[in-house]
Structure formats: structure tokens, C-alpha cells
Structure 1
Amino acid sequence: MKPVLTFSVSFIQQELKLISFTMYYILVPSLLAVSALFVFAIYPLYVYFRDEKGFRKYPAINCIAGITNLGFMYEAMIGIRSQKLSQLHKTHPVVRIGPNSLSFAGGEAIKDIYGHGSPCDKDKFYSVLAGTHFHLADVVDRPEHARKRKVLSAAYALKNLEDWEFKVADKTERFIKACEKACTAPLKPGMEPDPMDVTFDYRMFTNFFTLDAIADIGLSERLGFLDQGHDLCEAETADGKVYMTNYRTALDSTALAQSHLIWAYGWYNFNVWLSKIVSRKYNELWKLNEHWNNIVNRRARKRLTRYENGEKLNDFFQCLMEDRNGAENNLEWGEIVAEVSIMMNAGSATTALAMVSAMYHLLRNPHVMDKLRAELDATLSPDEVVVPYQKIKYLPYLRAVLDESLRMSPPTSFGLPRRTPPQGRSIGNQYIPGDTSVSISAYVAHRDESVFRDAEKFSPERWLGEEGKALQSSFVAFSAGARGCIGRNISYLEQTVLLASVVHRYEFALPSKTWEPVRWETTNFMMKDLPVKVWRRNLVAT
């Protein structure tokens, strides 16, 4: 009988193991499913209907945005979310874009959220995207921001424009050489260009311009993109491996991936990990993000070598390393790299978008182009090629054209998120509870009909005289308040000199009267390309 008993015990043990495995493979997935249901559905619905902050009274950008941040992530992935917001804000001053996020139309809300003295701090958005060290644009802590701005103010001071104008003039001359190579015969009146003559991508070359300019202004480095006609450049890994990669692709891919997934702050790192697994597209975008980091690393290390070799160069990097009296700032290397990164990013991308949008709007509005040319021709001689900044910086219609283009097509279009203080904050005529994400899209604010009449009409005249001065408080192309863009003076310098120089010297034409650019929104209002026909003006007869 003993062998039979042994068999029975062994059999029972195997059955118990089988039952245990079966229970494991049933219970664990079931528990995970129940947990997921609770986290992603039951709890968000509970919070939504509990409505502790009273946000259900506000219309949402879509049917799930008030329940989950997936709603705004969806809007970010499908197109230009600020356009949808703009339509909603025509009838609703406040729109809910997330369970704890509100969008405002503009007007008085601008100073309440972004103005000097506002108690609203930068939102978690910035710290989630920050690297090992904060840079000026993403630092949240106010004393730390003040310290950084004091260090960098010397670099971005208005007086430096005179010192750096020759670098902008150099890039303008190289841009003009590229135009000369693309020149074709004049277009006959009333005709559309031959497709074979539409050979100049104004979008690409303005981006080459700003990349070359900021590398020279910031790091005294000549990237040479305008000369070579492409953006292949050196990158360097953390272990010192140097290789070649495309600058624009790396930068734009990083912005695209981040702008899709950032809105669920607490889940951002998980979403990045998951996107790499489930999507070949996102996996490739995040690889390109590493290329961007390596491009920045290469720029910073090359410039550091020159500094360590004793070169005293008049650029942004020198201001990072030493104050105006030559005393070392003793910044950590990670902080220096972070500041170089935002300089190379924001210092090139947004200005290039401003430049290409200005040309697009001028070509869409020939009467405005004619009026701008009349102002320039009255100021400049026919033989001037690169226009001196001193001659044109106070031309009212030129500045009006730039500001109207920035109004219609703000390079940074999305709502820069801020966080209300713990005690809450009145924004416009609404009391908003504490610890709420609040924002105003520049695209939305600039289409507020109560401020900008005929907001969809490109009309530089609105910026002239006293009326134009009154509009400045609602103009947020460079944000507003203490956290406003520190590089706006450099941006205006580049925009003014390039636009005046090329409009004075050349004629341009779009591929057809019905041609429209391909646009999408990351944190910026992107444009794919702007193909144009270009030919020389007959300035002698002007």
C-alpha cells in the first residue's frame, strides 16, 4: 500500500501546483485589470463628478478632457490644438483642457497669470521636461530664476546688439548669396510661376540663418549651414564619440515627441517608455532626441576647449563663464550645457518661424508688401545689399509688419502653463482655486476680437500710432512679465535686418495663388516649408 500512498501524495502535489499556476495566471491579470480600471476610469470619474474645484461649469476642449489628461494629449497628436481652442474661446472665456488645467482667452487674464507681481509660478510642465540641471526657461524656483537671469542679462543686454550686429550682417550676406543662386527670370504680371522656377525653400534657409546666427552669437562657432545648403553637423556622445547628424531633424523630433506626451505630468516618463515599445515612430523620435543632446554636447565642449585655451570671445558662452568684470561665475558644467541647449533651441527655432511667417503673410497680401517696399526704398539706396540695422530699426511700418505676423502666427503658440498659488488666485473675473494649471495660448489671445478687431485679417496698420501702443499689453508673442523671453532683442535684430534686406533686393512668388503651407503645433507653430520663386528687383528704375 505504501507505493500507492506515495503516488497519491505526488499526484495531489502536482494538482496543487497546477491549481496554483492557474490561479496565478487568472488572478494576477484580473487584479491588474481591476487596478487599471480603478486608476484610469473609476477614480478619474469619481474626481470629475465630485468636482471639488468647481471646474465642471467650464466647457472642455473635448468630451474626456475634464476626466483625464488623455483628452488634451489626443488634441496634441491630431493637429493644431490652439485653433480648436480659439474657436471655443470665441464664446467661452475659460475652457477646461484637463482635469486640473484651464485655458483663458487673454485680455485681463494675461497680467493675472504672467504679469509682474503675479503669484502664479511655472507649472510642473517645466520641471518634468528639465534635464539634470534647469536652464533659464524651465527653472521654477523664483530665487534661482533671479540668479540665472542676473548671470544671463549681460549676455542678452540691449547694448550687445551693437557688438553682435556684424554677426547678423554676415549671415544676411550668406542668405543673400543663396538667394542669388536661386534667382530666375522675372515673373510676368498675372502669371503663376513655372514649377521649375520654384527652387528656393524660404523656410529652410531662414532656419539655416538663425542656426548659423545663434551659434556665432552664442558660441563664436561657424556652423556653415547657409554656405553648405544643409544642416549636417557634428555631435558628440558622453563617451567622446564624434559623428555627423542633421540638426533640424533632431531638434524638431524632440519637440514633437515631448509635445504629444507631456500633458499627463505624473505619467510622462512611463508614457515615454511605453511609446518606445508600442510605436516605431516614437521609438525613432526618442532616438533623435539623443542626437539633439549630443549636438548640444559637441557645441558646448568645443567652446569650452577654446575658453580653457585662453580665448576671450565676445559671445554668450563667455558671459556664462565670467561676469562683466572678468570674475568666474563658477557654474556647474551641467548648468552650462543646459543654458547652451535652450539658447540653441529657442534662439533658433522661434525666430526662424517668425521670419518665414512674415514672408508668407507678405506674399499673401501684396498691398502690404508694396507699402513695406515703399518705406524701405525711401530709406535705402538701390545699391545697399545688407541693410544696416541703424537705418531701419525705427521704421514704423517694418516693425508693424513683424508684429502683425507674430500676432497672426506666434512662433510659440501653445499656452505657457503656470500654477496658481495655494491660496488661489483671481484671474480675470474668475476665482481659481490653488494648485491649478492655468495658461493662455498666444494664438488664442491674438485672436481676441474685443482687442484685435478683424483678428483674422493681416493688418500691420493696427500697430501704428496710439492704437498700436494700446495693443501691446495683449501682445504675448514673447510671453510677458518677469518670465518673458530674454532674447527678444536679438530676435528682432535678426528679423528686421533679414526681412528688410531681402524685401528691398528681391521679388518672391508662392507656387500658386491657392498654395497653403503645411502647419502643425508642437510647443511652437510649425511650418513644413515655404517654396518660392525668387528674382532680382529692378532697383535702378524704382
Structure 2
Amino acid sequence: MFAVSVAPHAALLGLCCFLYFVVYPVIVYLRDAKGLRKFPNMTPLSGVSSLPFMIVAHGGGRSKHLAELHKTHPVIRTGPNTLSYSDSRAIKDIYGHNTKCIKDASYVLTAGSHFHLADVIDKPEHARKRKVLSSAYALKNLESWEWKVADKTAKLIAHIDTCCTAPLAPGQRMPDKDDLNLDFRAWSNFFTLDAIADIGLSDKLGFLDRGHDRVTARRTDGSKYECNLRECLYQNARKQSLLIWPYEWYPFLDKIANIIPFYGRMGKLSRDWDGIPIEFAHRRLERYQAGEKLDDFFQALMEDKNGNPNNLEWGEIVAEISIMMNAGSVTTAIAIANVLFQLLKNPEVKNKLVEELDAALEDEDMQGVVPYDRVKHLPYLRACLDESLRLFPPTPQALARETPPEGLYILDDHIAGGVSVGMSAYVAHQNEVHFPRPNEYIPERWLGEEGKNLQPYFLAFSAGARGCIGRNISYLEQTVVLASLLRRYEFALPHPQWEIERLETMNWILGPMPVKVWKRQANYA
């Protein structure tokens, strides 16, 4: 009798689900109230459901997939309410200083109790935050903090010295397996984490000293636990990148997916990450309350340049520290690993860069950290950095924006209000109109006036008023580390055809990068 009474209810529930998840989306698609049906779909079902994009995201290379599709279509509908662009003219419309677009709902979904500078949507609130933080990120401050970058570079050099082996024999193309004893990917990440913690919080994490990223974190109830920072940080972003695309369902999917071990592990690591900036903030607050006046990011959060309190809520301070430790370490570490990888894959480019460095530095900076002031204006060094950022931007995904209620024109098409629009940096950098031979590493494209003319199409740090506030600190770290290492060492990949593993989440998750390293011979100790 129980089975008989349940059956009609189950059938009714099934019918309701079919109507809601299948029939209703089809009706919305056919009704086309926002006029999006004129744009080509990523897949036949993309106008009806976000599921196809979720499937592509699980493949770990959605921006590469979009780049292929955009070779024939400047606008692609990737979801029922989402458009992807590849035509560079759309950059100004979507991201320009005067655009009426705002960050879309995805930033609300991934925010914590308080918005930080990178996810705040309200424009006046963003302006307030940027005013508070602009002094901390100003170039004059960054150069005064160069000694912190130099200190961490010296520690990186000290470790690499212990990994040095004999040079490759003449004609030897593949190093011995035992000589591949430096995971450059891991150590470049230890460097960026140690550097941003010192610059931002005057905190000595000591990853470069210890060779691991084990940290103490704090729950909101004050209890503490230990975890591996990098693992928590990257898996937190990965889960979001897989599940967020049907925005209205993400909170439910985020919770229910934890039943599946694959997502459950990422969910636990995400929660573990939440306690890391809380602990870092508490440690720094104790020093501040004890009267320490330190020249760092935290001090700028607490007081303006005249010493007046900013009176920020504690949740906002923790949120800003969280994004500082995240964006301030992840993207630069990816960039440093990427540029060395590209130079080793293109030895003629590397040799040209080393010649520029040697000519600028002569014999006086052979052993230690190269001073930033001596190399910051070297054109080929900067070109090598920018070309690596172009080829594999650390944040490849489209940073989504929402059109204003009244809509706006993008590429001469009127787009209705409330539509998510965006352009992947990877897609933008594959545009052959501006970047001929886009899959090749050609730093020369960035030199002279031609290089200046490419800047409006360069999205490695996004664009407009919401462009990355930390780009100066990233360039400082990349410049000092790359110049110092190329001045002192030679490197070799496992073999000439070796490729680093790349998994696209919100950023690239890079696999290990084992290299053989030895000290340069001529004129070097």
C-alpha cells in the first residue's frame, strides 16, 4: 500500500522536474526575451543550459576550447545568459573606464562575508576600497619594499645553489634523471608566497627556508589546525571553476557536490583555506595592537597616510588579506614559471636576453640579487615577460561583466540588460590580427612603437578601472627573480619536447617543473 501511495507523488515530482529543467528552459530560449538567439551557440544546448560549459570546464582547458571556436565566430553564446567575445573592439565596451558594465553575479557567489577589492560590485564601494588600498600598491611604495623581494630572491638563490650539478656535456640534449632535482614550479611559488606575506603583513612564512608550505590556520571559534597552503588555495579555486556556471544553482551544487569524494575533498580544502587569512590577520593585528608601526599593506588597511584610522570592519580586513595572499602570489608564481619555461623552450630568445642582462650589469652583479633599478627599463627583458603573459596569461578565463539594466552596445549589437559578457585573456591574445603567429613565443613583437600599440589588446592584468591593482608588484618580482637567476645559472628541462601540465581553473594550475641547474661558467664563480 505504501508503494502504491508514493507512486503518484513520485510521478508528479518527476513531471515537475521535467517541466522546470527541460520544458521551461526551452520556452525561455524560444521566447528569446533578451535577443540572444541570434548569436551562435557553443553547443546546440548552450542556449538552453549551462551544463555544456560545465562539461567543458571539467576538461581543464575551456579557454583553449573557446579560442578555437572564436576563430570563426567573434561572439559565442556559452550559456542561456552568457556571451563570450573575441573581437578586440569589445574590450573597451566591456572593460573600459567608462563602461556601464559591472562585475556579474559570479563575484557575489564566491565572496565571503565581506567583499574585497577584486570582487566588490558596487562602483562607489569599489572606489572607496581602491582609495584606501591605492597608497599601499603605489609604485613608490613598491620600490621602497624592494629589499623584501631581494631578501626572498636571495633565499631562492641559496636553495638553488644546493641543487647545482655539473654542466651538460657538449652535445648532451637530455640531463640525467638524478640531476632533475629542482621543481622550479614549487620553489617559484614558495618565493611569491614568502614575498607577498612580507610585503603585505611583515610576516616571515619561511617557505623558502623550510622547503614546504605547511601553515597554521584559525577557525572562527579560535581553534587552530594545520594545512598545506598551496593545496588549499588551488583546490578552492578549482571547485568554483567547475560548478559555478549555472549561477542560480551554484549554492546548491556547491553543497550537494560534497557527497561525491572528488568534490568533497575540494570542499574541505576550500574550508581549510578560509582559516589561513584569518590566522595571518590575527597575527598581524596582535603586532599592530602592541604598537608596531610597520611599512606594509596591513598598515595601509588600518590607517591612512596621515595616521588616521580607516575604521574598516574586521571581516573586510580579512577579505583583503585573503585576496592579497591569493592573487598576490598565484598569478606571479605562474608567470615566473611560465617565462623560464618559454625561455628554455626557445634558447635563441634566452641567449638574447642573457646578452642584454650581461651588457647592462657588466661584472659587478654576478653573484647575488640583481638590483631592480638596474634592469627595470631593459626592453627585451620586459618583452620576454609580456610575451609569456600573452601566450599563457595566468588568469585565462573571461572576467565576466553584467550589462546595465538598460542594456548597451557591444560591437554594434545592442545587448539587453542583465546579460553576462566577457572576453578571455587567452582568447584575446590568440587574435591573429594583433598577434600574428599567436602560438609562438616572439618577444620582439613588444619592442618599439609596435609594442606600445599592442598594449590596448593585452589583458593579462584585465583592463579599465577594474584592472589588477597589483600589476606593479608582479612586474617587480618577475623582473628581479628572472634577471637574478639568468645572471647566475643555466637550466635544462627533462628533454626538448617536454611540456608542463596545465589545468585551467580560475587560473592555471601548473604541474611540477623539474629542471637541471648549474652555475654559468664564463666569468662566474
The normalised TM-score by structure 1 is 0.95
Paired position in structure 1 for 2:452: 469
Task: Output the CA distance in 2 between the equivalents of 1:23 and 1:310.
Answer: 73
Offset at 1:31?
2.0
Task: Output the CA distance in 1 between the equivalents of 2:407 and 2:53.
Answer: 23
Consecutive unaligned residues in structure 1, runs of 5 or more: 1-17
Paired position in structure 2 for 1:512: 495
Offset at 1:53?
2.5
Offset at 1:273?
1.4
Question: What is the correspondence of 1:454-533 to structure 2 with a 5 Å cutoff?
Answer: 454-533=437-516
Q: Check if 1:180 corresponds to 2:166.
A: no
Task: Output the CA distance in 2 between the equivalents of 1:509 and 1:167.
Answer: 28
Supply the AA of the counterpart residue of 2:131. Answer: K
Offset at 1:434?
1.4
Question: What secondary structure sits across from 2:166 in the alignment?
Answer: coil
CA-to-partner distance for each residue in 1:496-539, whole Å, 9 max, x for gaps? 00000001110000001111111110011221121110000014
Paired position in structure 2 for 1:12: none
Do the aligned partners of 1:411 and 1:526 also contact (CA within 8 Å) in 2? no
Paired position in structure 1 for 2:22: 41
Paired position in structure 2 for 1:290: 271
Do the aligned partners of 1:63 and 1:71 also contact (CA within 8 Å) in 2? no
Do the aligned partners of 2:243 and 2:253 also contact (CA within 8 Å) in 1? yes
Paired position in structure 2 for 1:427: 410
Question: What secondary structure sits across from 1:540 in the alignment?
Answer: coil
Question: What secondary structure sits across from 2:487 in the alignment?
Answer: helix
Question: What secondary structure sits across from 2:517 in the alignment?
Answer: strand
From 171, 174, 196, give the equivalent of 2:178.
196
The 1:317/1:106 distance shift into structure 2, 3 A limit, reads: farther
Question: What secondary structure sits across from 1:304 in the alignment?
Answer: helix
From 41, 51, 56, give the equivalent of 1:60.
41
Do the aligned partners of 1:106 and 1:444 also contact (CA within 8 Å) in 2? no
Do the aligned partners of 2:428 and 2:457 also contact (CA within 8 Å) in 1? yes
Supply the AA of the counterpart residue of 1:168. Answer: V
Paired position in structure 1 for 2:202: 220
Question: What secondary structure sits across from 1:128 in the alignment?
Answer: helix
Q: Check if 1:300 corresponds to 2:286.
A: no
Task: Output the CA distance in 2 between the equivalents of 1:218 and 1:476.
Answer: 25
Do the aligned partners of 2:234 and 2:509 also contact (CA within 8 Å) in 1? no
CA-to-partner distance for each residue in 1:140-168, whole Å, 9 max, x for gaps? 00000000000001110111022210000
Q: Check if 1:250 corresponds to 2:240.
A: no
Question: What secondary structure sits across from 1:243 in the alignment?
Answer: strand
Offset at 1:190?
2.8
Task: Output the CA distance in 2 between the equivalents of 1:442 and 1:290.
Answer: 29
Paired position in structure 2 for 1:8: none
Offset at 1:378?
0.5
Do the aligned partners of 1:67 and 1:99 also contact (CA within 8 Å) in 2? yes
Question: What secondary structure sits across from 1:159 in the alignment?
Answer: helix
Question: What is the correspondence of 1:343-354 to structure 2 with a 5 Å cutoff?
Answer: 343-354=324-335
CA-to-partner distance for each residue in 1:391-418, whole Å, 9 max, x for gaps? 0000000000000000001000000000
Deviates more, 1:438-447 or 1:39-48: 39-48
Paired position in structure 2 for 1:168: 149
CA-to-partner distance for each residue in 1:33-52, whole Å, 9 max, x for gaps? 11211121111111122222
CA-to-partner distance for each residue in 1:227-277, whole Å, 9 max, x for gaps? 111111111112222222100000011000011111111111100111012
Paired position in structure 2 for 1:9: none
Task: Output the CA distance in 2 between the equivalents of 1:354 and 1:106.
Answer: 25
Paired position in structure 2 for 1:448: 431
CA-to-partner distance for each residue in 1:197-241, whole Å, 9 max, x for gaps? 011111100100000000000000000001111111111112222
Deviates more, 1:26-35 or 1:170-179: 26-35
Paired position in structure 2 for 1:261: 243
The normalised TM-score by structure 2 is 0.98
Question: What secondary structure sits across from 1:435 in the alignment?
Answer: coil
Task: Output the CA distance in 2 between the equivalents of 1:297 and 1:27.
Answer: 51
- May I ask how many residue pairs the two structures share in their alignment? 522
Task: Output the CA distance in 1 between the equivalents of 2:193 and 2:288.
Answer: 21
Task: Output the CA distance in 1 between the equivalents of 2:208 and 2:301.
Answer: 27
Identity level (%):
56
In the TM superposition, structure 1's runs of 4+ consecutive aligned residues that sit over 6 Å from their partners are none
Question: What is the correspondence of 1:372-391 to structure 2 with a 5 Å cutoff?
Answer: 372-382=353-363, 383-391=366-374
Offset at 1:22?
4.3
Paired position in structure 2 for 1:239: 221
Offset at 1:23?
5.1
Do the aligned partners of 1:106 and 1:474 also contact (CA within 8 Å) in 2? no
Task: Output the CA distance in 1 between the equivalents of 2:522 and 2:116.
Answer: 47
Do the aligned partners of 1:505 and 1:539 also contact (CA within 8 Å) in 2? no
Question: What is the correspondence of 1:4-19 to structure 2 with a 5 Å cutoff?
Answer: 18=1
Supply the AA of the counterpart residue of 1:189. Answer: P
